[in-house]
Amino acid sequence: MKKIITRILPATKTPADYGKYFKLILPIAIVLMIAGCSSVGYYSQIVSGHMRIVMGKRPVAEIISDETVNDEVKHRLQVAQHARQFAIEKMGLPNNSSYTSFYDTGKNYVTWNVVAAEEFSFEPRTWCFPIAGCVSYRGYYAEQDASFYAQGLAAQGLDVTVNGATAYSTLGWFKDPILNTMLDRSDPSIASLLFHELAHQQLYVGDDSTYNESFASFVEREGLRQWLQQMLQTDSPQQNNDIAEQVALGRQRQNAFIDLLQRTREDLEEIYGSSIDVEEMRSAKALRFDQMRSEYAALKESWDDYPGYDRWFEQDLNNARLVSVGTYNDYIPAFEEMFKQNGSSLEKFYSAALEVSKMPAPERSKVMEELLSKSSALSQ
C-alpha cells in the first residue's frame, strides 16, 4: 500500500498540498486495503487517474480570465456554466461545486470502458465495485490498459468492445470538473452532457446500469428541450431557431440509429433462441451484422451522407457493441412515460424514479417493462 500511494502522489511542493491530497485519497485508500491483492493494481490506476484530475483542475473563472486561453475555449466554458446554472435553477438538479473547475486531460477521452457479453447473448458481463455497485463496464484511464484487458476477455470467447468516454461522474463524492474532452462539441451538446452527468448525482441505484444511464439520458433530453425553449425566447430568435432545428434533425438521426440497432438486436435474439447448431448460429449472426451495415449505408444515404455514426461502425460489430448503446437508451421510452404520468413535472418525476429505484431488481424491471409497453402502445 505504501508503494502504491507513493506512486500516485503528484509532484507537489508544500505540506498543504500533501495534506489536501491525503484528505482526498483516504476514503479510496481504505477501499484499496479491503479490495484484495488481485484488485489493487486495477484500483490504483483508478485512484491515480482521478487524483491527477482532482489536483490539476483550475477554477473556471480563472480560466476565463486567463489571456493565454483562446476565445473558443472560453466560450465553451461559459456555455457549460450557463447550462449548469440552468440545470440547478430550472431542472432541480444538485447545486454543488461540480463543474465549476476545469482540467485538460491532453487526450480525446478521459477513460476507456470495456464492455463484454457472451457470443450468443445480450446479457452483459458485470463488474462490482465498493461504491458504484455492479456495472456493465470496466473503466481504465489508459487506452492500452483497457485494450489489454479486452484482449483477455476476447480470448475467453466473449464479444468485447472498448469505448472512449468523454466524461464520468463520481456521484457527488468529488467536485467533478469540466474536462477538455467535454468541450469538443456544439453548444447544445455541451449543455446536454452537463445535464446527463448532473442527473447521475440526482439519482443512482447500485447494480442497474441500464436504469441509471437511461434515467440520465432522459433527463438530458428533457433538459435540452427546456434549454432550447428558453433560448428561443431571447433576442436572437432566428439564430436560436436554426440551432433548435439542427438539434431536432440530430435527434431524428439518433432515433433512426437506435431503431436500427434495436431491430438488429431483436433479430439476433431470435437467432440465439433457436435450435440451430453453433456453427449455423455463428454464420447467421455474422450475416445479420453484415445486413446492419448495409442498412446503415442506406440510412446514411438518406441523410445526404451525414457521417455522424461512421466511427461507431468502424469497429467490429458484436453483441457488446449493441449492449453498450442499449444501456443508455433501452429505458428512455419508459422514463418518458413516467414523466408524462407525473404531469411532465421534473420534481414529481424524480420522486417517482426514486421510488422505483428502491424496489428489488425483479420488481423494478417489471415496472419498467410495463412502462415500456404503455409507451409503445401510445406511439402506435
| Domain residue limits, the chain | 2-379
CB 309 within 8 A of CB 257: yes
Q: What is the pLDDT along the chain (380 residues), one digit of tens a residue?
A: 333 333 333 444 444 444 444 445 445 544 444 444 457 788 889 889 999 999 999 999 999 999 999 999 999 999 999 999 999 999 999 999 999 999 999 999 999 999 999 999 999 999 988 777 889 999 999 999 999 999 999 999 999 999 999 999 998 888 999 999 999 999 999 999 999 999 999 999 989 999 999 999 999 999 999 999 888 777 666 777 788 899 999 999 999 999 999 999 999 999 999 999 999 999 999 999 999 999 999 999 999 999 999 999 999 999 999 999 999 999 999 999 999 999 999 999 999 999 999 999 999 999 999 999 998 766 65
pLDDT recorded at residue 15: 44
- The strand ranges marked E within 123-247 are 127-129, 133-135, 138-140, 159-165, 178-179
| DSSP track, 46-102 | HHHHHHHHHHH-EEHHHHHT-TTS-HHHHHHHHHHHHHHHHHHHTT----SSTTSEE
pLDDT recorded at residue 39: 72
C-alpha cell at 357: 429505484
CB 3 within 8 A of CB 22: no
pLDDT recorded at residue 118: 97
* Spatial separation of the C-alpha atoms in residues 338 and 344, rounded to whole Å: 9
- Please count the other Cβ atoms lying within 10 Å of the Cβ belonging to residue 10: 14
pLDDT recorded at residue 378: 64
